[in-house]
Amino acid sequence: MLLTFCPVAHGADAPSSPPNFIFVLSDDIAQGDLGCYGQKLIQTPRLDQMAAEGTRYLQAYCGTSVCAPSRSSFFTGLHTGHCPVRGNYEVPPEGQLPLPDETVTIAEVAKSAGYATATFGKWGMGYFDTTGSPFNQGVDHFFGYNCQRHAHSYFPTYLYDDAQPFILPGNDGRTVGETYAQELIQNDMIDWLKNHADQPFFMFYAITLPHGRHEIDDFGIYRDKPWTEKQKAYAAQVTRVDTDMGELMDTLRDLGIAENTLIVFTGDNGSSFSPQSEIGKRFDQASNGLRGFKRGMYEGALRQAALAWWPGTVPAGRVDAQPWAFWDMLPTFVELSGATPPEGYETDGFSLVDYLKGGDAPERDYFYWELHRGDRPVQAARFGHWKAVRNGIDKPIEIYDLKEDAAESHDLASSRADLVRRAEEIFEEAHRPDPNWPLAGRTKEHTERAKKAWTIKRERDKSGWIPPNAVERVE
């Protein structure tokens, strides 16, 4: 089925057209970081406004609790038992394990429906000469970091404009320099938005802030706070995300397309720090009372901050506690866009269109997560209000009642053998075997390959390496 679209006129008299979709993934931001979720010290007025004008979700789940697999789950519409990326798998000399060519992504679905497509910020799903290149997965334009390790520096020696690396003057990639990467990424995103306002578009805005290293060009309103340098930087990073989101919403309104654009704002995992850590304790990131943080399988690691904004369509001021997950975004977009997905399309998700508009979330048998951390994969499942966690294939299954015990403090496994059996069934059913992600842990070959990649990247990062084909960027 071939769909064609006429140019979209600006303003109230614009003819009906499929909605634009912007998915914003703020790296490591947590519910506890935002004022609308109760944060008292960090100022986030624009995201609080976004929540007031849209819907705030209390039980929105990430793909899993670290970078590459979480964003890959969104991009493929698959939970991490089926997703081809289930951990942070380094590939030398730059980048992460690439998405396979046969994988159908949300950007490819968008292109099949006539949408312009772009990704800004951090890619992390394959270098440019692999099947996981953004341009092999449906993306028209890319600007930012290809590799998530490269993205640890906010003052890197280079960024990418599409596949062309360009040098950032005054930066060495190791310290605070002269050219702040987020400034360039935000500006390129706004320029692209203005240039594509007259056609349907899909945008994946993978903001690197507030992930470590905690570097910023200006502490701003936190400069004189009696905090550590890291705490000031973290707060300023979160507020910078807030300011940039405000500019995005303002631009959509100025262009007359806000009422035809859905923004979903999220983090790629729940809390990123132990409640007793320098940042976790200062900003009370665990104020939602949930257990766990990044790299874990408890609710504190899997529930992320999530807002939906679509003026006139998404209910304003709604706060909802029904569960949904990243892999629901692909079927949601299929319905919104009217796309006929390319051959090979599959998804573990359910369309949230009615839910976003104020209805109920779809019913399902279960949610499932796995994460491969070296040689110890971990798993979790939610079925109804029950939660199962297995912290290693050789570890016992834990069972929690999220309705009565959201903090997952009372393991019921010893008294509920029926629920343990159900969890075992889900773990078996939801895991699709993959040689890159064996549940028994990585083979010696995988481990050695990972060590080699880690060493190459670490040494390159120390040296302030610049790709040999990098150029001076001409504005």
* CATH number, domain with residue 124: 3.40.720.10
87 and 196 inside one domain: yes
Query: Helix, strand, or coil here: 108?
Result: helix
The CATH number linked to 394 is: 3.30.1120.10
Domain that holds residue 401: 367-442
pLDDT score recorded for residue 459: 65
Q: Please give the backbone phi and psi of residue 379, each rounded to the nearest 5 degrees, phi first.
A: -140, 155
Q: What is the 3-state secondary structure (H, E, C) of 323-375?
A: CEEHHHHHHHHHHHHCCCCCCCCCCCCCCCHHHHCCCCCCCCCCEEEEEEECC
Per the CB < 8 A criterion, the answer to whether 260 and 19 are in contact is yes
Number of domains in the chain: 2
Lowest mean pLDDT among 2-6, 25-29, 174-178, 389-393: 2-6
pLDDT score recorded for residue 376: 85
380 and 342 inside one domain: no
Separation between Cα atoms, residue 382 and residue 297, nearest integer Å: 11
46 and 99 inside one domain: yes
Residue 452: inside a domain = no
pLDDT category at 465 given cuts 50, 70, 90 is confident
pLDDT category at 252 given cuts 50, 70, 90 is very high
Residue 238: inside a domain = yes
123 and 98 inside one domain: yes
Per the CB < 8 A criterion, the answer to whether 72 and 99 are in contact is yes
Q: Tell me the average pLDDT of the chain.
A: 92
341 and 390 inside one domain: no
92 and 46 inside one domain: yes
pLDDT score recorded for residue 117: 98
Residue 182: inside a domain = yes
CA angle 145, 147, 149 (to 5 degrees): 110
273 and 130 inside one domain: yes
> Given a cut of 70, is residue 393 above it in pLDDT?
yes
Side-chain half-sphere CA neighbours of 332 within 13 A: 29
Q: CB atoms < 10 A from the CB of 396, how many? A: 13
Characterise 270 by phi-psi region: left (phi > 0), alpha (psi -120 to 50), beta (else): beta
> Given a cut of 90, is residue 64 above it in pLDDT?
yes
285 and 412 inside one domain: no
> Given a cut of 80, is residue 223 above it in pLDDT?
yes
pLDDT category at 442 given cuts 50, 70, 90 is low
Per the CB < 8 A criterion, the answer to whether 157 and 178 are in contact is no
> Given a cut of 70, is residue 458 above it in pLDDT?
no
pTM of the prediction? 0.94
Q: Please give the backbone phi and psi of residue 11, each rounded to the nearest 5 degrees, phi first.
A: 95, 180
Separation between Cα atoms, residue 138 and residue 169, nearest integer Å: 31
